[in-house]
């Protein structure tokens, strides 16, 4: 694709000017508008940044029209089929698939950094039992910046590695502590001999009072592993952009990740997986589907079909396709084949929506959040923890994107401008005259 500049004309003054074009490996090229305000005295306006690139990145590529998702050039379908979350995490952080010795060393590093400083556990006692786990997790991750002063030189690659490994290793332990606190159960310590997903399940579901150690179901661990691969990164989505923007000020990386967790919580973003199950439970059964489809189409009704639509995918979200296929397998393997009313309802809802002209015309397809909750529920994970599961997986993506931003020589503090629509200058009125 050519790098030929765009020439634009100011029709008011008649002056013509050029905007330099930059072309990446694949995908749309970009027009560099960084000099626009200086030369033309105007800003661009792009609410929600649907047509604006805020960075150059080599980590994840999405083609929304074709339904393509690649991590470091590897198609998500191949990684889902052949890789593991630990291997994908290494790929996202370091750019290449690891050799066996690299993978073993990375896995060992993660396994041996899962414990929390005992003072951390006291934070959880400050939360009421019914605090939402996402509030607890984002708060406690922010507190990590109060503990770890050994990784504050963000220009030092060794410090960046320690931060990346530590946050990835400890986020499951923090999530499990939040879950146990919400149950009023004692915290369960991580076990280094368990793999990443088995360790998480053990911290969630083992209970000291039960004799014998909790047996992790390999089907559950495999399902989590695949869900984490699918959720690990996704280009410059809302929460990743939040991590980059917060990180661009040079703030403590744990604080930047905490900001990302807060952004992910929203129902328009990662909070949708919890909202989908709430929606399916509200719909109840197939005979109510058309009523809710009508509500989703009604401009006067704020109801949206949760788990449908995407800013980038105008075709099937490849992750949703993989998760849907996984639902069948996991539910059968977990002997929940007959107990799947929500899954059957979700399949029926998808079939009806995808035949409706409104959804067809607006390119609204199921996204990653539409089916993931079905699997989390089958694993025994409560709805309030669904977005926490998303955050656990996405933490390594946020860390990879933060590292790329910190190392980018072009990177500078993010500081967007605005279109001012407030009052023109006016003089102060003494209160007696108001």
Among 310, 327, 398, 401, binds ligand SDX (CB under 6 A): 310
| Residue 237 engages ligand SDX in binding (rule: CB under 6 A) | yes
Alpha helix locations (H) across 309-415?
318-333, 341-354, 357-361, 368-378, 386-407
| Residue 311 engages ligand SDX in binding (rule: CB under 6 A) | yes
Choosing from 107, 233, 317, 369, which is the catalytic residue? Answer: 369
Residues 367-386 contacting ligand SDX, CB under 6 A: 367-369
| Residues found in the chain | 434
Q: Stretches 17-25, 105-113, 141-149, 361-369: which one binds ligand SDX (CB under 6 A)?
A: 361-369
Look up residue 168 and give its two tokens: 């990835």
Beta bridge partners of 69: 62
Instruction: Return all residues near 367 (Cβ < 8 A) that are at least 6 apart.
Output: 272, 307, 308, 309, 310, 313, 317, 319, 320
Question: Phi first, then psi: what are they for 195, rounded to 5°?
Answer: -75, 170
Q: Stretches 79-87, 243-251, 263-271, 402-410: which one binds ligand SDX (CB under 6 A)?
A: 263-271
In this complex, which beta carbon is closest to ligand SDX, that of residue 280 or of residue 312?
312
Q: Least distance from C-beta 23 to ligand SDX, angstroms?
A: 23
Q: Is residue 395 within 8 Å of 257, Cβ to Cβ?
A: yes
Residues 159-218 contacting ligand SDX, CB under 6 A: none
Q: Is residue 372 within 8 Å of 386, Cβ to Cβ?
A: yes
In this complex, which beta carbon is closest to ligand SDX, that of residue 272 or of residue 379?
272
Among 268, 288, 341, 380, binds ligand SDX (CB under 6 A): 268
The residue number whose beta carbon is nearest to ligand SDX equals 309
| Residue 364 engages ligand SDX in binding (rule: CB under 6 A) | yes
Residue 181 annotated to the active site: no
SS3 category, 144: helix
Residues 18-57 contacting ligand SDX, CB under 6 A: 48
| Residue 296 engages ligand SDX in binding (rule: CB under 6 A) | yes
Beta bridge partners of 403: none
Q: What is the DSSP string of 187-202?
A: P----TTS-HHHHHHH
Residue 310 annotated to the active site: yes
Instruction: Return all residues near 250 (Cβ < 8 A) that are at least 6 apart.
Output: 154, 413
| Residue 305 engages ligand SDX in binding (rule: CB under 6 A) | yes
Rule CB under 6 A: which residues touch ligand SDX?
Answer: 48, 234, 237-238, 268-270, 272, 296, 304-312, 362, 364, 367-369
What amino acid positions are annotated as catalytic residues? Answer: 310, 369
């Amino acid at each position: 694709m050519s790098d030929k500049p765009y020439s634009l004309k100011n029709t008011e003054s008649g002056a013509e000017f050029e905007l330099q074009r930059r072309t990446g490996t694949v995908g749309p090229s970009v027009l560099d508008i960084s000099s626009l305000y200086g030369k033309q005295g105007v800003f661009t306006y792009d609410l929600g940044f649907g047509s604006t690139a805020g960075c150059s990145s080599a980590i994840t590529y999405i083609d929304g029209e074709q339904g393509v998702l690649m991590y470091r050039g590897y198609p998500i379908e191949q990684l889902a089929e052949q890789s593991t979350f630990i291997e994908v995490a290494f790929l996202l952080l370091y750019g290449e698939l690891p050799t066996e010795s690299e993978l073993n060393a990375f896995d060992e590093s993660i396994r041996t950094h899962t414990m929390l400083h005992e003072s951390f556990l006291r934070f959880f006692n400050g939360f009421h039992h019914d605090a939402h786990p996402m509030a607890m997790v984002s708060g406690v991750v922010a507190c990590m910046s109060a503990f770890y002063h050994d990784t504050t030189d963000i220009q030092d690659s060794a410090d960046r590695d320690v931060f990346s490994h530590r946050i990835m290793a400890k986020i499951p332990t923090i999530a499990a502590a939040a879950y146990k606190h919400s149950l009023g159960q004692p915290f369960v310590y991580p076990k280094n001999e368990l793999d990443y997903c088995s360790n998480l399940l053990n911290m969630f579901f083992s209970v000291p009072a039960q004799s014998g150690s909790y047996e992790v179901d390999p089907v559950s661990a495999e399902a989590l592993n695949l869900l984490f691969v699918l959720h690990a990164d996704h280009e410059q989505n809302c929460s990743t952009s939040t991590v980059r923007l917060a990180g661009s000020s040079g703030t403590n990386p744990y604080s930047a990740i905490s900001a990302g967790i807060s952004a992910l919580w929203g129902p328009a973003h990662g909070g949708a997986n919890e909202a989908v199950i709430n929606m399916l439970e509200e719909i109840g059964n197939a005979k109510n589907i058309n009523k809710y489809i009508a509500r989703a189409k009604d401009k006067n009704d704020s109801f949206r079909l949760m788990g449908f639509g995407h800013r980038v995918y105008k075709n099937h979200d490849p992750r949703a396709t993989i998760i849907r296929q996984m639902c069948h397998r996991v539910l059968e393997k977990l002997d929940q084949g007959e107990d799947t009313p929500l899954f059957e309802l979700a399949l029926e809802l998808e079939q009806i929506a995808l035949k409706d002209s409104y959804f067809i015309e607006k390119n609204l397809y199921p996204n990653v959040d539409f089916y993931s909750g079905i699997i989390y529920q089958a694993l025994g994970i409560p709805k309030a923890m669904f977005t926490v599961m998303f955050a656990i997986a996405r933490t390594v993506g946020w860390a990879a994107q933060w590292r790329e931003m910190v190392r980018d020589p072009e990177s500078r503090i993010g500081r967007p401008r605005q279109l001012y629509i407030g009052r023109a200058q006016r003089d102060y009125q003494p209160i007696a005259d108001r």
